[in-house]
Chains A and B, each alone.
Chain A
């Protein structure tokens, strides 16, 4: 049997090892290796998709090797319906963002080393089913991210990188405490997720709630849930384009994935106790961040706040405790990965040319760059939830699923939908429409490499919008199991 999960996780590491001895002067060789090893996980993740049978319960493609037997810690990997799409998303966005890193020549060797290491951490997080392994991968992500923002970022990169690092580290320390509590509450002591899923729902209500909060804090910083979101706009604005793509497209999803994977099924008492809190936080994020986004002049900051707003739908959908809501929430997780990744690529294309992200400095670019304009419009329409594109399915089912239990919140979040439409259309108007600003009369149209990075995302957005079952058939059995587990009555 081939250990596909290990392969996909450590393929980027192999690339890293190959790059290390290469002289830093040979930029094109390094870049070639970097792009190649960022693309290799794509076929591997497709193999995993193929090998995974959504109908079977539990984890599949399991790899299990004893690691620190004295403490009951194992190298334990496995996937189910909610991790397979995340592996796919990571592979796809890493590959596309690698293409978007083409022009990075400054300290290229270090860049690619960090970039590949980042991928190892992301893949590992989504396939680990031992909390020890999970935590290691989770923290591996932080380090390269810190350097990628801090070295290749914008003018305030130091501040943004440190803020990102410390904020998420603070979150993960609390999460680690939660893990330790789980470890000592289990009998025999273990950090294996399947075993904990089995045992933890039987523990006491107070214990579950406390651990739930600890884990949730760790994940909430990552998502980010209001009011823990302020690191995100700074990190996005300073990060180079490909890193913004990874940050919005994958890193944020590690947070929601954690909630799906651990909080809900493992600690049902916490889920039931804090369902209302989820609805409140979700709705506040949807409305509040939409308004804040409307006030932005910096294109990247606007997209960053719109991300915060969109992730609110995940919480609201989960708070509904219906399969439609869970399905919509997960759909939003995936769809937002595609759409926000695409949005940051789109912003990057403009920034590379104009060296500004000030929305009010543009105007009339539709006449100058029609292809670019078309792509920008497509992705913004997707994220404002236009029916026929993936964002609509996600929002609609999140709201549909949340309706019965959380009706007032669903109605209030309608304001957020209108405001989102308003600021997205204002983006078109400020960037694309109106008279052409003469300053940009010679701006070149989007190039073939850039189109290549965007087309797969466009295809996925449309395909999922019309044929949502492509995703829901993979995820729904697993989500159904999570939902059932989260509804277990607790003594």
Chain B
């Protein structure tokens, strides 16, 4: 099992990485199948005592239950395909092998996260992934914007990580364990929601907000597109960002018992989904459109978990991984074939020059737009259905988002592949087979991955994902919800066709003018970056500078002041010593000197004088003696 963690840092070439990833897949897939296919029984666990202090112990180990098995499947399949693709995309880069070393380390982290049986090991893997993400975003580090994007990603997610860490600590003191199985047992024994548990769940969710780029910490993901495109596909679309969703799913035993935490999760997800869907239509960079789309879809998954649709959330995670990886790889193929231009306004008409890329992208776009019977339709419909039953406002949010999604995705497709190429100087070409074959395979998944969860297969996936501690969550199928979501998707597609089709009926530019404030807000991503810069980053920098001055002037000033005053007082004492103490000594000397000058006069050297003095002395003595006795 732990072969999955095989880390190969160093001079690993692309082939080694692909081989290792395939090997992981070969090990993981039968395992995943076994766990998913045999209900109830098969959950693999193994653990050892990691740390003990006093009577408390922490154990580390692995737990492969149905959700973990599903993720193993998703991660190894998309991971391997993306790495195959990367051997073509990254060919000839001077740091080719380092790229694969990072990606392999990332895969190890992701697989470790999936199989971790406790929050602490999950957190370790979580941070390893974050680190790889940082390196890979800043892979072209000679470019300052790439380095800055890496920094932003790491620090923003770090805020979430601190929340997660505090959540873990609180959970440890509340439930006495960080292992998922023991948590489930604990929650089964404590069905009543307490403040501490709710706080712990919410703190853990802060981790999700950071990692899965949820509102209000979503700002790092669009910038993360500075990384190489396969990385965007793997880390910033299919797997790592979904880890936040997985975290909620893993700790779902907490959330399902805590209504406050649940509704917070649902609303954050819903708001994120809609907000990102509103930003995406105004973007012109092909990767940024996809980045906002990713944020929006992650919001969908989070919302699904928030309304209690555990299986639907994971289901959407899976389908999204396939079609979004495909979209990014397709976009990568376009960028690769279009000489590293990412602005859609220069593209157009590429369907003739890149037929394979076009066909696969089209499938993915239909899938994400929710056109039946492709993958996205089933999972999205599941979520909307649950939202419909749980909370009508959330359902409205979700449905509007679905329409917007269909709109901006078709906008992307139409601007890129239809019409005439707008920048005629670039000679576009199709990508090599090593890149197109993964596209085709992913397209198959994007088309079919929804079927295991569809009523046609009797909701097999949803049943397979069931874990013993899960509260039953049955929702009535509704033709109204399903019909409306298809209708909305159709409307979105239609609007895109009217605006960006070969013969536009509505001019996008005119529309943008008409709704200038809305358009400007959307174009500027609702000014989140500016807000954070003004409200957080700059004040932090100013505070740092201010505290540094305080340290120099006040704290160190006190020390130097003490030193100086000691020195001054020493000086003063020196003066005192010189003039007063020593002066006294000298004064004494001077007095003696003066006295001796007086007495010296008496010493005349004349015998008569001495005799006289002696006689006087004797007389005086005699007088004193007489006076005393008398």
Output the least CB separation between B367 and chain A (Å).
Answer: 36
A-contact bits for B551-568, CB 8 A (1 contact / 0 none): 100011011000100000
Interface residues of A in 377-409 (CB under 8 A from B): 381, 386-388, 392, 396, 399-400, 403-404
Write the nearest CB–CB distance from B441 to chain A, whole angstroms: 33
Q: How many residues of A contact B (CB 8 A)?
A: 51
Partner of B173, one of A288, A404, A418: A404
Chain A's closest residue to B157 (CB) is A421
* A227-B555, A436-B142 known; A399-B165 Cβ under 8 A: yes
Among candidates A388, A418, A429, A432, residue contacting B162 with C-beta atoms closer than 8 Å: A418
**Which of B340-348, B519-527, B541-549 lines the interface with chain A?**
B541-549
Partner-contacting stretch, out of B36-44, B49-57, B306-314, B374-382: B49-57
Q: Which residues of A sit under 8 angstroms from B142, Cβ to Cβ?
A: 364, 367, 433-436
Pair A230/B158 contact, Cβ less than 8 Å = no
- What chain B residues lie within 8 Å of A419 (beta carbons)? 540, 544
Least Cβ distance of B550 to chain A in Å? 8
Determine whether the beta carbon of A387 is less than 8 Å from that of B148: no
Task: Please determine whether B141 and A480 come into contact, CB atoms closer than 8 angstroms.
Answer: no
With both chains docked as a complex, state the minimum distance between the C-beta of B173 and any C-beta of chain A, in angstroms: 6
Give every chain A residue within 8 A of B169 (Cβ-Cβ): 396, 399-400, 403, 410
Q: Is the CB of B162 within 8 A of A387?
A: no
Is A366's CB within 8 Å of the partner chain B?
Answer: yes
* A485 → B minimal CB distance (Å): 15
Q: Is the CB of A425 within 8 A of B141?
A: no
B440 within 8 A of A: no
> Given A163-B563, A291-B547, does the pair A432, B141 have CB atoms closer than 8 Å?
yes
Q: Tell me if B185 is interfacial: C-beta within 8 Å of chain A.
A: no
Which of A80-88, A344-352, A450-458, A468-476 is the interface stretch? A468-476
B155 to chain A: closest residue by CB: A422
Question: How far does the alpha carbon of A468 sit from the alpha carbon of B58 in the complex, in Å?
Answer: 11
B544 touches A434 (CB 8 A): no
A433 lies within 8 A of B141 (CB): yes
Q: Which residues of A contact B128 (CB under 8 A)?
A: 387-388
Interface pair B141/A166, CB less than 8 Å apart: no
Are B53's CB and A410's CB within 8 A? no
Does B151 contact A167, Cβ atoms closer than 8 Å?
A: no
| Docked pose: A426 CA to B541 CA in angstroms | 12
User: Closest Cβ of chain A: how far from B325's Cβ, in Å?
Assistant: 27
Interface contact A418-B53, CB-CB below 8 Å: no
Q: Which residues of A contact B158 (CB under 8 A)?
A: 417-418, 421-422
- The residue among B50, B148, B172, B559 with the most chain A CB atoms within 10 A of its own CB is B559
Q: Are B51 and A294 neighbours in the complex by a CB distance under 8 Å?
A: no
The answer to whether A414 touches B162, judged by C-beta atoms less than 8 angstroms apart, is: yes
Given A227-B555, A429-B147, CB of A387 within 8 Å of CB of B170? no
- Is the beta-carbon distance between A292 and B151 smaller than 8 angstroms? no
Q: Is the CB of A388 within 8 A of B56?
A: no
Q: Are A387 and B124 in contact (CB under 8 A)?
A: yes
The residue from A323, A381, A387, A418 contacting B54, defined by CB atoms under 8 A apart: A323
B residues within 8 A CB of A295?
541, 544-545, 547-548
Evaluate contact between A291 and B543: CB separation under 8 angstroms. yes
Q: Are B141 and A403 in contact (CB under 8 A)?
A: no
B162-209 contacts to A (CB < 8 Å): 162-163, 165-166, 169-170, 172-173
CB closest residue in chain B, given A367:
B142
Distance in Å: Cβ of B103 to nearest Cβ of chain A = 17
> Which residues between 459 and 475 of chain B lie within 8 Å of chain A, taking CB atoms?
none
What 1/0 mask marks residues of chain B from 120 to 161 whose CB sits below 8 Å from any chain A CB? 100110111001001000100110100110110011001100
When the two chains form their complex, are residues B544 and A381 in contact, meaning their CB atoms are under 8 A apart? Answer: no
Are A230 and B556 in contact, with the CB atoms below 8 A?
Answer: yes
> Are B144 and A388 interface neighbours, CB within 8 A?
no
Known A-B contacts A387-B123, A418-B159; the reply to A166 vs B544 at CB < 8 A is no
Query: Do residues A230 and B551 form an inter-chain contact, with CB atoms below 8 A?
Result: yes
Contact call A426/B151, Cβ cutoff below 8 A: yes
Question: Which of A366, A396, A434, A469 is in CB contact (< 8 Å) with B50?
Answer: A469
Interface membership of A315, Cβ < 8 A = no
| Beyond known contacts A403-B173, A418-B162, A421-B155: 7 more, CB 8 A cutoff | A166-B563, A410-B166, A414-B166, A417-B158, A417-B162, A433-B150, A468-B51
Residues of B within 8 A of A (CB): 50-54, 56, 120, 123-124, 126-128, 131, 134, 138, 141-142, 144, 147-148, 150-151, 154-155, 158-159, 162-163, 165-166, 169-170, 172-173, 540-541, 543-545, 547-548, 551, 555-556, 558-559, 563
In the complex, 11 of the A-B residue pairs with CB atoms within 8 angstroms, ordered by the A residue number, are A227-B558, A230-B555, A294-B541, A324-B53, A366-B141, A396-B120, A414-B162, A417-B165, A421-B154, A422-B158, A469-B51
